Amino acid sequence: MPTRWSITAVDDMLGKRLIEDIKNNPTINSYQVYECNKLNSRFLVMMMPTEWQYEFLEAFAHVFGSEEMLFVDWEGFEGRKTYAGMGGCYYSARLAVAEKLKKMNKQAGALVFRESYHGYVPLGVWLVREHVRAAMNSQPKNFADFDSALSYIYSKLLLHPSNYVKQSVLLKKSILKNRTKIV
Q: What is the tens place of the pLDDT at every residue in 113-165?
A: 999 998 888 888 999 999 999 999 999 999 999 999 999 999 999 999 999 99
Domain that holds residue 20: 2-177
Note whether residue 41 is domain-resident: yes
What pLDDT does residue 122 have?
Answer: 83
pLDDT of residue 182: 56
**In sequence order, which residues have a C-beta less than 8 Å from that of residue 29 and are 6 or more positions away?**
49
Q: Is residue 115 part of a domain?
A: yes
Q: Is 31 helix (H, G, I), strand (E, B) or coil?
A: strand
Is 182 contained in some domain?
Answer: no
On whether the CB atoms of residues 60 and 116 are closer than 8 A, the answer is yes
In a domain, 44, yes or no: yes
Report how far Cα 182 is from the mean position of its chain's Cα atoms: 19
Is there a domain that residue 183 lies in? no
Amino acid present at 50: T
Q: Is the pTM of this model over 0.85?
A: yes
- Confirm whether 116 is domain-assigned: yes
- Using the predicted structure, report yes or no on whether residue 66 has a pLDDT greater than 90: no
pLDDT reported for residue 4: 56
Overall residue count recorded for the chain in this entry? 183
Number of domain units in the chain? 1
Backbone angles phi, psi at 121, to 5 degrees: -115, 120
Would residue 157 count as lying in a domain?
yes
Please list the alpha-helical segments (H only) found in 106-145: 125-136
Q: Is 1's pLDDT higher than 50?
A: no
Does 92 map to a domain? yes
Q: What is the mean pLDDT of residues 57-82?
A: 91
